[in-house]
Amino acid sequence: MKKRRIAYLVSEYPAISHTFIIREIQALRDQGFDIRTASISTPDSLEKMTDIEKSDARNTLYVKDLPIIKIALAHIVMFAASPLKYVFMLKEAIILGCRGPRNMLKGLAYFAEAGIILHWMCRNSIAHIHVHFANPAATVAMIASSYGTVSYSMSVHGPDVFYNVDQLLLAEKVKRALFVRCISHYCRSQLMRMISHSMWKKLDIVRCGIDPEIFSPVRRNDGDTSEILCVGRLVPAKGQHILLEACGHLKKRGVPFRLTYVGDGEDRASLEGLSNELGLADSITFAGAVGQDEVHQYYDQADIFVLASFAEGVPVVLMEAMAKEIPSVSTCITGIPELIEDGKNGVLVAPSDADGLADRLEELLGSESLRIKLGAEGRQKVLRKYNLASNSEMMGDLFNTHLRSS
């Protein structure tokens, strides 16, 4: 049986902070799909990534890396194939550029990228492209689809896209997409409020997932000082300053701990400065960005995992920590309560509440039995709802159903 060929488009692929995408692609390939990958930009930190990620990068189309001559050739070929369709696509790009970003030059830039994607799909006999994130990469796919020979779908994560729906043309993207995969009920609800009820049937919930065999429990460290771990980019949305403030409260209360940040970003200097101000420098480690080959060593030493975020979809790092039976603490925002049920399989606190976070951390640090209970229940939740294999099968069923009927 011939494999169904599908393109996956991402703004940056592979990305060290979006490893769930390559896992999903690999799982779909294991199901028999022929997945080809394209990326608008070349990835950063490729040297830190796994061999599988490096191999996929070698076979990925990088749109912005193409020389002018190849860009021109792609557009010439698509114009020659159908001048009317090409002109219509150009018109759509200009209209969408003026409606969304309100910048015709941006519309023309998206048009240039759409022509490259379209030509690449034509050369590789690909009729459908799926985009992760409803960002400008999805705008490029939407413009390419207006040529009339390819369709597109997208995975919507949120929450950033819900803050700027007009500029990102979010409702228009949903309207034109073959289907939309939502990673959570929260995500689906946000799309429901901006489209008519007749289009709700386009919105399918397929959660992200992890491989619970790879992220399996290990024995926690037996040291006198408990280890707190935070994995994520060092950016404002992750709320890491709140975690530091909470740790400052713990220090004043005489609660021993160590905290490790795994990740890098624009807030690193500020976080390092705050750790010095709070007298925490000796208790904090900034490990920087690490690849999937290395991140396990940090999980395996952790007693508690914390993500004090202000804005998230449903963080995959929480799934990873929970699968490893690390009691996990996060904030009661967006889709996180769909993963963590406070007091049952983890801990939820109000975002920005450093005192409240300190209280819950002190409770966890003081009770090994509570940590064990929450950790065990956390893994069971991941096994039931956030298992990569079963969720990727659901994704495969979506492709088979919609592409068969399109």
Q: What is the DSSP string of 16-83?
A: TT-HHHHHHHHHHHHTT-EEEEEEEEPPS-GGGS-HHHHHHHHTSEEGGGS-HHHHHHHHHHHHHH-H
Q: Are residues 285 and 315 in the same domain?
A: yes
In a domain, 218, yes or no: no
Does 381 share its domain with 391? no
Do 101 and 142 fall into the same domain? Answer: yes
Ordered DSSP codes for 307-323: E--SS-S--HHHHHHHH
In the structure, what pLDDT confidence band is assigned to residue 44 with cuts at 50, 70 and 90? confident
Angle at 290 between CA 285 and CA 294, to 5 degrees: 95
Write out the residue range of the structural domain in which residue 189 sits: 5-209+387-405
CA distance 87 to 204: 33
Q: What is the pLDDT of residue 218?
A: 85
Rounded Cα gap, residues 193 and 220, in angstroms:
44
| Residue 404 confidence (pLDDT) | 82
Strand partners, 182: 156, 205
| Cβ atoms of 16 and 45 closer than 8 Å | yes
Q: Report the chain's C-alpha Rg in angstroms.
A: 22
Residue type, 156: V
In this structure, the answer to whether residues 246 and 351 fall within a common structural domain is: yes
Q: What is the mean pLDDT of residues 337-351?
A: 98
Both 256 and 348 in one domain: the answer is yes
Residue 160: phi, psi to the nearest 5?
-55, -40
State residue 240's pLDDT score.
98
Domain identity same for 187 and 323:
no
Distance CA 374, CA 340 (A): 10
Asked whether residue 17 carries a pLDDT value surpassing 90, the answer given is no
Q: Show the CA angle centred on residue 11, arms to residues 55 and 351, nearest 5°.
A: 110
pLDDT at 1: 57
With respect to residue 356, please indicate whether it lies within any of the assigned structural domains. yes
Is 41 found in the same domain as 178?
Answer: yes
pLDDT at 401 over 90: yes
Residue among 163, 298, 107 at smallest CA distance from 221: 298
**Span 183-242, pLDDT tens digits:** 999 999 999 999 999 999 999 999 999 999 999 998 766 667 899 999 999 999 999 999
- Interval 57-95: pLDDT, tens: 999 999 999 999 999 999 999 999 999 999 999 999 999
pLDDT at 222: 66
Contact at 8 Å (CB) between 114 and 144?
yes
What CATH number did the domain enclosing 374 receive?
3.40.50.2000
What count of Cα atoms within 13 Å lies in the side-chain half-sphere of residue 34?
A: 11
- Alpha carbon 180 to its chain centroid, in Å, reads 15
